[in-house]
Structure formats: structure tokens, C-alpha cells
Structure 1
Amino acid sequence: MASGIGFKGTNRCFPFWEDYQQCYFSSNDKTHSDCSPAREDYLECLHHFKEIARVRAIQAVERQNYAKSKANGTDHKIISLTGEKGA
């Protein structure tokens, strides 16, 4: 990562990068395993892997609830987190 300052100001993940970089260079461990939490935070900020997995898990439960309610004859609507209608 470069300076972290772009055309529109500071990158939103730059503070996480600074934390990881500080941990990495101050670590006495050659594998830098003590910096894993800081690295995970930085990668989550960049790619949202955990957030996406959580949204998919919530959507799967919603679909199951919808299928069960349809079988029981009750009314259960699916909540869309992406702005789409229905499922």
C-alpha cells in the first residue's frame, strides 16, 4: 500500500494498514503470527469476507423460514438486504 492518501482523501482501510504495519515491524516473532488479528482486520476492511458470509447465512435462514411458512400456510416475507424484491 502506498501512502494511503488518494484523490478523495485518506483510504478507509488505511488505519487498519497502519496498525498491521506497526505490529509487523515491532514483532519479534519471525512468522509474525502475533499480527494475525491486525492482518484479518485489514483484509476484512478491504474485501468484507466475513460480512458477506454473515449476510449469506442470514439470507439462507430467511429462505428456510419462507419455505416453512409457505408449507404451513402462514405469511412470512423475505427481507432483502440488497434491495431486490422477493427471493
Structure 2
Amino acid sequence: MASGIGYRGTNRCFPFWEDFQQCYFSSKQESRSDCVGARDDYLECLHHFKEIARVRTIQAVERENFAKAKNNGTEHKIISLASGGGTSS
């Protein structure tokens, strides 16, 4: 990342990059292990690994609850996160 400023202004992850860069260059450890948290925050901002994993876990639980409700004869609606908040059954 060169400057963090592009055609449409500052990149949304640039503050995380600055935090990581500041930690990295001010670290007194050779391994820079004290900057792992800052690096993880920056990578999460870029790729959303943790967010995607959490959404998949929630969706799996919702599908499981729907299957249980269907087997019990009760009504349970799954809220779709992708379609703008609508429900599907």
C-alpha cells in the first residue's frame, strides 16, 4: 500500500495499515510478534475472514433450527442476510 489515498479518497483499511506500520517500525522485537493484533485487524479489514466465518456459523445454526422446527411441526422462518432482510422458508 503506497499512500492509502486513491481516486475516491482514503481507503477504508488505511487507518489499520497505519496502525500496523507504526507498530512494526517501532517494535523492539526482532520477530515483531507484538504487532500480530494490528496485522490481524488490517487483514480482517481487507478480507473479512472472521466476519464471513461468523455469518456461515449463524446460517448453519439457522438451517439446523429450521430443520428441527420442520420435524416438530412448528413454524420457523429463516432470515436471509443476502436478500436485504427478507425471509425464506
Q: If the TM-score is normalised by the length of the shorter chain, which range does it land in?
A: over 0.9
1:44 aligned to 2:44? yes
Which one-letter code corresponds to 2:54 in the other structure? R
Runs of 4+ in structure 1 deviating by more than 6 angstroms, as ranges, are: none
Which one-letter code corresponds to 2:80 in the other structure? S
Flag structure 2 segments of 5+ consecutive residues without an equivalent: none
Flag structure 1 segments of 5+ consecutive residues without an equivalent: none
| Partner in structure 2 of residue 5 of structure 1 | 5
- Paired with 1:6 and 1:31, the residues of 2 have a C-alpha distance of 31
- Paired with 1:35 and 1:69, the residues of 2 have a C-alpha distance of 46
| Partner in structure 1 of residue 63 of structure 2 | 63
Q: Return the offset for 1:85.
A: 5.8
Q: Return the offset for 1:49.
A: 0.2
Matched positions, count: 87
Contact 2:20 2:35 in 1 (8 A): yes
Q: Return the offset for 1:86.
A: 3.1
Select the structure that is richer in strand: 2
Contact 2:77 2:87 in 1 (8 A): no
Which one-letter code corresponds to 2:36 in the other structure? S
Mapping 1:4-23, distance limit 5 Å = 4-23=4-23
Q: Return the offset for 1:9.
A: 0.1
Which one-letter code corresponds to 2:58 in the other structure? I
State TM-score, norm by structure 2: 0.94
- The higher-RCO structure (CA 8 Å, 6+ apart) is 1
